[in-house]
Chains A and B, each alone.
Chain A
Amino acid sequence: EVQLVQSGAEVKKPGDSLKISCKAFGYSFSKYWIGWVRQKPGKGLEWMGIIYPGDSDTRYSPSFEGQVTISADTSTNTAYVQWSSLKASDTAMYYCAKSWQMGTVNNFDIWGQGTRVTVS
């Protein structure tokens, strides 16, 4: 079964660093773009960035450029997003999701269950 399994909820303080993960199962991880999406409490979906694990080509939303770092490890089929210095405004649910078509940037067909990050 194709699935993305994300790491557990985090509670951090402002200024802390954090790295959350998204492990892929059931498909060729290196061949599909995988993205990250933020959802603040009670709000809509915001695209953060996307990575092609095969060559680590990474693109960011202008709103998130410089604020987060997206990476991937093909040896463990895991994608990551990390913060070097969290702010209270980073409190949100974070989802990873894979593009539905191999090798192309496209809509997301499989989503992780989400990782809740609380900064307080």
Chain B
Amino acid sequence: IQLTQSPSSLSASVGDRVTITCRASQDMGTSLAWYQQKPGEPPKLLIYAVSSLQSRVPSRFSGSGSGTDFSLTISSLHPEDFATYYCQQVDPYPPRFTFGPGTKVDIK
């Protein structure tokens, strides 16, 4: 499976609603996750199983989608949300993990 993300980067302001899209070359099932990575830090799991919010992740983050098209939405951008976001798909049999190329969100 190949993953593409759009846009590859975006500039936004605090308070903006932001949506990032992840598209797969074939049906991804329900194993789609989203990660946030800030410079110098490891990735952080935000959303797993398409739409489940990871513990202690703010509710302004949400995930949706099915089949080959998925999205991550930040309902109101906070200053700490400026980062790079990656989608990830998992095939359990045989184990295969695929990451999207990333979307960088920076300050307008």
Contacts and interface: CB of A to CB of B under 8 A. Distances in A.
A50 B95 contact: yes
Interface stretch (A7-15, A24-32, A73-81, A99-107): A99-107
A59 interface: yes
Contacts of A97: 42-43
A33 B90 CA distance: 13
Contact of A112 (B35, B42, B88, B101): B42
A104 B54 contact: no
A47 interface: yes
Contacts of A53: none
Interface in A71-120: 95, 97, 100, 104-109, 111-114
A23 to B, nearest CB: 15
Contacts of B100: 44
B42 A114 contact: yes
| Residues of B in contact with A, size category | 20 to 34
28 contacts: A33-B95, A37-B43, A44-B99, A44-B101, A44-B102, A45-B37, A45-B86, A45-B88, A45-B99, A47-B96, A47-B98, A59-B96, A61-B96, A61-B97, A95-B42, A97-B43, A100-B45, A100-B48, A106-B31, A106-B48, A107-B48, A107-B90, A108-B43, A108-B45, A109-B45, A109-B48, A111-B42, A112-B42
A107 B32 CA distance: 8
Contact of B45 (A44, A105, A107): A107
Interface in A27-66: 33, 35, 37, 44-47, 50, 59, 61
Contacts of A33: 95
A106 B99 CA distance: 13
A104 B92 contact: yes
Nearest to B40: A114
